Structure 1
Amino acid sequence: MQSFRTELENPVVERDIIELEHKIRQFHTGKIDEESFRTLRLARGVYGQRQPGVQMIRIKIPYGKLNARKLERIAAVSDEYSTGLLHITTRQDIQIHHVSLDRTPELWAELEKDEITLREACGNTVRNVTASALSGIDPEEVFDIRPHAEAVFKYFLRNPMCQEMGRKIKIAFSNNANDNGLTFMHDLGFIAKDQNGIKGFKVMVAGGLGSQSRQADVLYDFLETDKVIPLVEAVLRLFERYGERKNRMKARLKFWVKAIGFEAFQKLVNQELRVIPVTTFPIPELEFQISIPSVTLDSEVPGPEFEQWKKSHIIPQKQEGLFAAALRIRLGNFTTDQARGLAAIARKYTGDELTFTVDQNLLIRHIPKDRLVHVYNELATLNLVDFGYGTSLDITACPGTDTCNLGIANTTSASNALEEILRNEYNELWKSKEHVSIKLSGCMNSCGQHMIANIGFQGMSMKAKDGRVIPASQILIGGGVLGDGQGAFADKVIKIPSKRSGDALRWILDAFAESASRNFLEFYQEKGENFFYQLLKPLADIEHPEDALFFDWGQEELYEKEIGVGECAGVVIDLVATLFVEAEEKLALMQEALEQRLWADAQFHGYSAVVQASKALLIAEGKRTNSHAAIINQFEEEFIKTGELTVSNYEGLALRMAVDRADVSVLVYAKEVEAFYLSVVQFRKNQLEKRHETIA
C-alpha cells in the first residue's frame, strides 16, 4: 500500500480520509482485527462484496440531487478505481464495485474535490436522506422539501451521536400526500403539509421493510418546519441509548418502538425534547437558482419515436415553460460513458440539475420546451431513451448475487427475463389497466423493496427429495403506496422454483386482465391471498423437478447457496481491553469538543466514555447486555449497590444528557466523567492483581 495524503482544503474531511488510510494500514499489519475495522470502514462507505479482495463503494447523494460536474467526477472515479459501471440504489445513492481496499482513501479524496462524500453511506449511522424525486418542480407539491432534507443531511453528518448506534436509521421526505418519498416504511418520515399558511410536516416514525415489515406510526399530524431537526435529534438520542445492540435482527427502531409501545415512545420523545441542546432550528426556504444556458439550436423535426416517448417521459414543471425528462435506467445500471453524455446534455441544454430517484431512475430537470427534441436525440445516441418509465416494465431490483454477500438469487438476470415476458406478451395490458409495480430482492432484507410491490420476488432456496438445492422465489403480492403515510405490505403467498417465476407472473397478469379491476391493489383485495395461493400452487410442485430448475437465472453452473457475512451494521467488540481503549478515545474527543466549546458534543462523548467503561467491567464479569440503558442499569446493580465501586450518583452521571441541556456546565461534568473513568481503571487493575496473586 502506497503512502497517501490529501490536498483538500476542508480539514475535517481530510482528517476522515487520512484516518481511513491509517486504519487500513493497522488492519494489514494486524494491529486491529477485522471486526473492529469493519465498523470504521462501513461508516466511510466501504462495503464488502461477494468477490474476495474487493469492495463496493457507496457514494452518498443527498436526496439524489447532483449536477454535471459531480456526475463527471463520479464517472472519472469509477473509470480509475472501479469498472466503469454505475448503479443507482433505492436510496438515491450511487454504488461502484470491485474497488481495491487500499485505494479507497485516494478514491474518496478525488470525490471530495467536488464535495461528494462517502461518509455514513453504510453502517450504523443515519443513511442517505431521501426525498420525492420531483421536489422543487412538482406542480402539486405543498412546498419544496429539499432545503429540509439538505439541513437534516448536513446537521447529522459526522454528528457524534450517529456514529455508533445499534443499527442504521433511514429518513425520507415527501413533498405531498402522494408520498412518493415512501415515508410509511422509514424510521423517520416527513410529509409536507400546510396549516393555515404555516409550513410543516406530518411525521411518521418506526416503519421498515425486511422480513418483519412495519407500517410507520403517526408521531405528529403537523410539526412546524423549525422543529424537524430537534425531533430527529431527540429520536436518535433515544435510539442510541435504548436501542438493541446484541441481537442485530431485532435492533432496528421499529422493534424497540413495538416492544415498549407507541405511547411509551411518545412520552420518551417529549421528555427528550425538553433537554436537547437545540429546541428550534429554522431552515431557510432556499430558492434553488435555475440558470438556463443560451444555445444555438439546429432545426430538428420530431419523429414518431420522440412523440411516443414524450407522452410518458416528459413531465411539465411548475416553472412555466420548463420540463423534466424522466429516464428509465434499467435496474439502475449505466456506464461512465453514458454518465459523461448525460452531464454534457445537462450542461448544454438545461439548468444543469439531475436527480436520482428511489426507483433507480434519473431525471434531467429544467429543459425548455424548444430543446426537448434535441435532448431526446442526444439521449438516443447514448441508448438512454428506453421506453417504460413508470410502467410495469420499470422493474426495481437489488444487485443480488452479482455482488452482494447476502444475495441468494440472481436478481439481475431474473429481472431481465421478466421484462422480456412483459414486452413480448403483455404489451396491450397497460393500455386498459393501471401499471403493476414489480420489484425483486435477492434476500429478505428488501433492498429491492419487494415488500411494497404489487408483485414481489424474494430470493430463497428449496430442496428436492434427493437433497439437491433449487434456487427459489418467494412470491409476494399486494404491496403498494396508499398515500399520506400509509402503505400496503405484500403478503407472502408461496415459494416456487425461481425458473418458474415467469409463469407465476403470467398467471397473475392473466387473472388481472380478466378482472373488472383497473387497479391491481383493488384486484388483489377483491380476490384475497388464498386465491393466489391456489392459482400458483402447481408451480410449487417439485416432486419430479426438471434439470433446468437447478440453475439460477443467467447461470451455467449448478446452483449453490452461498451466503456471506452481512455488513449492514458494524459489529460491537466485546473485548475488555478494546472497550477501555474506546473509552479513552471518547475522553479525548470530549476534551477536543470542550476546547471548541461544542458543549453538546462534549456531553455526548462523556456519556459514551461512561458507557464504554461500564461495559468493560460488566464484560469482565461475564455479564452481557443488549442496550446502553441496560448497561447503566446492570452496572448500578452489580457494582454500585453492592459497594464494590464508590461513585456518587452513578446513574445521574451516566444519564446526565437525558436530564440536563448541554451548556458551559459540561466543563464540570467532564471532570466527573474523567474521575469515574480513573476509578474504573483502578478497579480493573486491582481485579487483575488479585487474580494474579490467586493463580500464583
Structure 2
Amino acid sequence: MRSFRTEIENPVVEKDIIELEKKIRLFKEGKVDEERFRSLRLARGVYGQRQQGVQMVRIKLPYGKVTGDQLLRIADVSDEYSTGRLHITTRQDIQIHYVSLDRTPELWAELEKSDVTLREACGNTVRNVTASEIAGIDTDEPFDVSPYAHAVFQFFLRNPVCQEMGRKFKMAFSSSDKDSALSFIHDLGFIPKLKDGERGFKVLLGGGLGSQPNHAELVHDFLPSEKLIPFIESVLRVFDRHGERAKRLKARMKFLVQGIGLEAFLQLVEEQQLALSYQTYSIHTDDFEKDYGVLNKITVPEVSIDDEAGYKAWLQTNVLPQKQDGFYAIGIKVKLGDFYTDKARKLAELVKKYASNELRLSLRQNILIRDVKEELLPFFYSQLAELGFTSLGYNSTVDITACPGTDTCNLGIASSTGIADVLGDVLVNEYPEYLNNKDITIKISGCMNACGQHNMAQIGFQGMSIRQGKLVAPALQVLLGGGVLGDGSGRFSDKVIKIPSKRGPQALRVLLDDFKANAKDESFLNYYNKQGKKYFYDFLKPLSETDNLVADDFVDWGHSKAYVQEVGIGECAGVVVDLIATLLFEVEEKLENAKNALESNAYADSIYHSYTVIVNAAKALLLAENVKTNTQAGIIKQFEELFGDQITLEVPFSKFVYQINKNEPTESFAKKYVADATLFYKKVDAFRKKQIEHEVGK
C-alpha cells in the first residue's frame, strides 16, 4: 500500500489516501469502532453495497465534467479494481461496484493521477456540485455557470466547515431560467442572472426530495457572483452548528429551515459574516474559454451514411445546436446510466481527437459530447453507431431515469432498473411518438429516498411492497403531476395509487392512451391539473386489486425467484454513533489539523478546526453522561449547564466557544483559538480520566 505515496504530487491528497489506508488497517485490527469507521470511509466515497464484503465506490465529477484522459483513467481503474461497468448517477457522478475495501486506497491513488477524486462523494458532507450539462453552450444562458460550480467544488473540498455535518448537503447550478439543474429541489440552488451587466445568481434554499419533498425558498433575487462563496460558507456554518444530528430523518437542511423559520435562519447566516474566510471571493473564468478557431481546423474524415433516415432522426432527437455558431452537442442516451469500459475508451479517444476533449454527464444519467463542428456530425454518427450509442430519444420521454434499486443498494425495496427496462421497451415499440417528446418525463426510485427523483416527474414510480395474505409481492407507487416550471419553480407529484409491480407497463399504457384520447393540445401537467388526482385514481384502480394476483406477480422484474423484501441499513446519509474514546481520539487529530492549518497561514480553516475540537470534546463528556446531543448549538448549551461549574474557564462556556463569531479570521485570533482549544481539550481529557478512575474504583 506504500508504493503510491511518492507518485502523488499533492501532499494533501497523499496524506488523505494514507489516512484511509491507516484507518482500514486499524478497523481490521478492531482498534476503530465500526460506526466511526463508516463515517470516515463514506466521506472518501466508499459505500457499502447490498452484497456483503464488497464496496461501491463513487467517483466525484463536479458538474459532470470529465475529460477524455480522465475517462481513460476511470476505465483503467474499473477494469483493475471492479467489473468494467460504469454507472452514471443522477448527480453526475460515476459509480463502480464490487470493490474490495482493502484496495480502495490504491484505487483512489490511481484516480488522483488524472485529478479525479473520491473525497466527499458520500457521507455527511457537501456532495457533488451539479450543473446543467449544457452550461457553457446553452443558447439561452446569460453566462457560463461552469466556472462558478467549479470554484464552489474546489473551495469546499476538504473544508473543515463541512466535514462532519448532520446530513449531506447538495448544490446545483442551472444554466438558464429553464432550470434544467433542478434548483428547487436542492439545499442550495442557483440560477444565473445579469443585472446592469453584472453577473449574479438567483438563490434558493432548503429544497429536497425524499419521503417529504420540499420546495426550496427564495432567499436572493440577485446575489452578486463575488458574494457566492461567502454566502454558501455562512449557510454551511449555520447548518453544521444548528442542524439535527440525532434524528436522521429530520437532519436535512429543509427541516432546519422549517423548524426555525426562514427569517431566523437568515439572521443566523448574517451573524457568521465576521468569521468568514472571505468577505468577497472573485471567481476567474478565463480557464473555461475554448479556442473555437483551433476546433474549426480539425480534419473531417470521409464517411458515407447508409441509413439516411436513421441519421436524420438522430439529428432531430440527439443533436443540440450550441450558442457557438457552427458547433453542436451530441446527446448519448445511456440506458439506465450503465456503460462499459471498452466503449468508454473509444469514446474518450473520439472526443480527444475530434472535439474539445470534454464530456459532460447529465442529471438524467446520460453523456453529452460538446463542441463538435457541423461538418463532423456524419462522422460522429458513424462512430457512435459502432458503439451502440445512437439510440434515439436523448432527454425525451423514452429516456427513463432510474436509481440502482435492489441491484446493489441496501435501501432498495423493489427493482427500479428492471421496471425501467420494460417501460422503455413499451415506449419504443408501442409509442414511438414519444422518442422526441420533452413534455413528459418518467423517473423511478427503488424506495422513498428518491435517488431516481420519482416524486418530481410528470410520471413517477416508487418501489414498494404489497401483501396478499402472508405473501409479499413487489409493488409500485404511481405518482403523477410533478415537473419543472422554470426560474426556480417546480412542483411535486401526487401519490395516486399503489399497484403490483408487474402491472407497471399496463399502468403506463393506460395513462398514455387516456392522454392521447382526451388531452386537447395541452401539456401533460395542464391536463393533469384539469382532470384532477381522483380522475386518474379511478381509471388506475382496477390495476391495484390484489385478490387476483398470480404466481408471476410475486417475482420482481429482472429476477427468477420469488420476491423477498430485504432492506438493509442505508449508509450514504447515515448518522453515526460516536463512542467516547473514539471521539476523543479524533479530537486529538482535529487539534493537529488546527495547528497544521495555522502553520500554513490558513487561519479560517485553523479556527474552524479549533471550534470542532471544542464542540466534540464537550460532546464526549455529554455522551458519558448519556445526554442526547442533537445539534452543536445544543451541545454548547447543555455542556454549560452540566459542566460549567466543574470545568472552569475564564468566561462562560458558550462565550468561550462563540468567539468564532466575534472575531475576524486573523493570525492572532487563530493562535489564541488554537491555544484555547488545546487548553479545553486537556481539561476534558483530565476530567474524563478521573471519571474512568472513579468508575474502576467502584
Which AA in structure 2 matches 1:98? Answer: Y
Match in the other structure for 2:52: 52
Q: Structure 2 vs 1, CA of residues 398 and 475 (structure 1 numbering), >3 Å: closer, same or farther?
A: same
Q: Shift in Å at residue 295 of structure 1?
A: 2.3
Map 1:599-610; keep pairs closer than 5 Å.
Answer: 599-610=603-614
Alpha-carbon offset, residue 574 of structure 1: 3.0
Shift of 1:582: 1.9
What is the distance in 1 between the residues matched to 2:25 and 2:253? Answer: 34
Aligned partner of 2:557 in structure 1 is 553
Letter in 2 for 1:289: K
Residue in structure 1 matched with residue 167 of structure 2 by the alignment: 167
Does structure 1 residue 447 correspond to structure 2 residue 451?
A: yes
Within 5 Å, which residues of 2 pair with 1:608-623?
608-623=612-627
CA distance in 2, matches of 1:86, 1:574: 34
Give the corresponding residue for 2:89: 89
Distance 1:538 1:509 in 2: 16
Deviation at 1:275, TM superposition (A): 3.0
8 Å Cα contact 1:517-1:523 kept in structure 2: no
2:301 aligned with 1:297: yes
Q: Is the 8 A contact 1:600 1:662 kept in 2?
A: yes
Question: Partner of 2:666: helix, strand, or coil?
Answer: coil
Cα separation, partners in 2 of 1:517 and 1:571, compared to 1, 3 Å:
same
Q: SS state of the match for residue 116, structure 1?
A: coil
Q: Does 1:105 align with 2:105?
A: yes
The residue identity in structure 2 corresponding to 1:615 is K
Instruction: Return the match for 2:333 from 328, 331, 341.
Output: 328
Question: Counterparts of 1:136-215 in structure 2 under 5 Å?
Answer: 136-215=136-215
- Structure 2 residue 516 is the aligned partner of structure 1 residue 513: yes
Report deviation, 1:637.
Answer: 1.0
Shift of 1:350: 1.3
For the residues of structure 1 that align with 2:185 and 2:335, how far apart are their CA atoms?
Answer: 24
Kept after mapping to 1: 8 A contact 2:303/2:379 = no
- Partner of 2:235 in structure 1? 235
Whole-angstrom distance in 1 between the partners of 2:368 and 2:408:
26
Instruction: Identify the range of structure 1 (223-232 vs 495-504) with the bigger mean alpha-carbon deviation.
Output: 495-504
Pair 6,41 (structure 1): closer, same or farther in 2 beyond 3 Å:
farther
Q: Quote the Cα distance in structure 2 between the aligned partners of 1:80 and 1:285.
A: 36
Q: Give the match for residue 582 of structure 2.
A: 578
Instruction: Name the CA distance, whole Å, in 1 between partners of 2:75 and 2:696.
Output: 59
How big is the shift at 1:4?
Answer: 6.0
Deviation, structure 1 residue 517: 4.3
Shift of 1:669: 2.1
**Code of the aligned partner of 1:503:** Q
Q: Which amino acid aligns with 2:363?
A: V
Q: 1:251 to 1:5 in 2, by over 3 A?
A: same
Cα 1:683–1:376 change in 2 (3 A) is: same
Aligned counterparts of 1:313 and 1:525: Cα–Cα separation in 2:
30
- Aligned partners of 1:494 and 1:537 also within 8 Å: yes
Letter in 2 for 1:644: Q
Aligned to 1:644: 646
Alignment of 1:68-467 (within 5 A): 68-286=68-286, 287-290=288-291, 291-292=294-295, 294-301=298-305, 303-428=308-433, 435-465=439-469, 467=470
Partner Cα separation in structure 2 for residue 492 and residue 6 of structure 1: 55
Take 1:158 and 1:430, find their aligned partners in 2: how far apart are those partners? Answer: 43
Look up the equivalent residue of 2:478 and give its one-letter code: I
Structure 1 stretch 87-96 or stretch 538-547: which is displaced more? 538-547
Q: Distance in 2 between matches of 1:101 and 1:170?
A: 26
Q: Cα gap change, 1:679/1:611 in structure 2, threshold over 3 Å: closer, same or farther?
A: same
1:587-602 correspondence to structure 2 within 5 Å: 587-602=591-606
* Amino acid of the structure 2 residue aligned with 1:43: A
TM-score normalised according to structure 2 size? 0.96
Work out which of the residue numbers 472, 486, 490 in structure 2 matches 1:469. Answer: 472
Which amino acid in 1 is paired with 2:600? Answer: Q
CA distance in 2, matches of 1:33, 1:633: 28
Q: CA deviation at 1:684?
A: 2.3
- Residue 35 of structure 1 contacts residue 570 of structure 1 at CA under 8 Å; is this kept in 2? no
Does 1:687 pair with 2:688?
A: no
CA distance in 2, matches of 1:574, 1:425: 54
Asked if structure 1 preserves the Cα contact closer than 8 Å seen for 2:467 and 2:473, the reply is yes
Q: Secondary structure of 1:538's partner?
A: helix
RMSD: 1.6
Structure 2: distance between partners of 1:6 and 1:562: 44
SS in structure 2 opposite 1:505?
A: helix
Q: Which residue is equivalent to 2:534?
A: 530
Question: Per the alignment, do residues 3 and 285 of structure 1 end up closer, same or farther by CA in structure 2, a change over 3 Å counting?
Answer: closer
Query: What's the offset of the Cα at 1:263?
Result: 1.1
State the secondary structure of the residue aligned to 1:221: strand
Per-residue deviation at 1:331? 1.1
Contact in 2 for aligned 1:27/1:33 (Cα 8 Å):
yes
Greater CA deviation, 77-86 or 268-277? 268-277
Higher mean displacement: 34-43 or 675-684: 675-684
Separation (CA, whole Å) in 2 of partners of 1:424 and 1:668: 70
1:36–1:571: 8 Å Cα contact kept in structure 2? no
Q: Deviations over 1:485-526 (max 9, x none)?
A: 111100111111111111111111111111214311111111
Q: Are positions 1:676 and 2:680 aligned together?
A: yes
Counterpart residue number, 2:7? 7
Aligned to 2:63: 63
Deviations, residues 22-63 of structure 1 (Å, cap 9, x unaligned): 111111111112211111111111111111111111111110
Equivalent residue of 1:319, what SS?
coil
Listed one character per residue, the Cα deviations across residues 535-591 of structure 1 (whole Å, up to 9, x for unaligned) are 211111112321111110111100001111101135433322222212222211111
Q: Which amino acid aligns with 1:469?
A: V
> Does structure 1 retain, via aligned residues, the 8 Å contact 2:398–2:427?
yes
| Residue number in structure 2 paired with 1:27 | 27
Distance 1:191 1:429, change over 3 A: closer
Matches within 5 A, 1:660-671: 660-664=663-667, 665-671=669-675
Are residues 558 and 3 of structure 1, via their aligned partners in 2, closer, same or farther at CA, if it must alter by over 3 Å? farther
Counterpart in the other structure of 1:500: 503
Give the Cα–Cα distance (whole angstroms) in 2 for the partners of residues 404 and 657 of structure 1: 40
What amino acid sits opposite 2:290 in the alignment? Q
The 8 Å contact of residues 6 and 18 in structure 1, kept in 2 or not, is answered as: no
- 8 Å contact kept, 1:328–1:386: yes
* TM superposition shift of 1:628: 0.5
Displacement of 1:691 in angstroms is: 3.7
Amino acid at match of 2:246: K
Deviation at 1:164, TM superposition (A): 0.6
Q: Which amino acid aligns with 1:449?
A: Q
Q: Are the counterparts in 1 of residues 182 and 484 from structure 2 also a CA contact under 8 Å?
A: yes
3-state SS of paired residue (1:325): strand
Query: 1:352 corresponds to which letter in structure 2?
Result: N
Q: Say whether the 8 Å CA contact 1:417–1:502 is kept in structure 2.
A: yes
- Provide the secondary structure at the position in 1 that maps to 2:461: strand
Matched letter for residue 386 of structure 1 = S
Alignment partners' CA distance in 1, 2:435 and 2:85? 32
* Equivalent in 485, 488, 493 of residue 485 of structure 1: 488
Counterpart Cα distance in 1 of 2:421 and 2:324: 37
CA distance in 2 between counterparts of 1:25 and 1:251 reads 31
Give ranges in structure 1 of 5+ residues lacking alignment: none
| Deviations 1:108-143, CA, capped at 9 Å, x for gaps | 111111111111111111111001111111111010
What is aligned with 2:635?
631
Rounded to whole Å, the distance in 1 between the matches of 2:690 and 2:506 is 70
Which of residues 545, 548, 551 in structure 2 aligns to 1:544? 548
Which moves more between the two structures, 643-652 or 380-389? 643-652
1:381–1:626 CA distance, 2 compared to 1 (3 A): same
TM norm structure 1? 0.97
Cα offsets for 1:164-223 (capped at 9, x unmatched): 111111010012110011100000111000111111000011000100000000010000
Secondary structure of the structure 2 residue equivalent to 1:219: strand
Distance 1:684 1:497 in 2: 56
CA contact (8 A) 1:399 1:411 kept: yes
The answer to whether the Cα contact below 8 Å between 2:167 and 2:575 also exists between their aligned partners in 1 is no
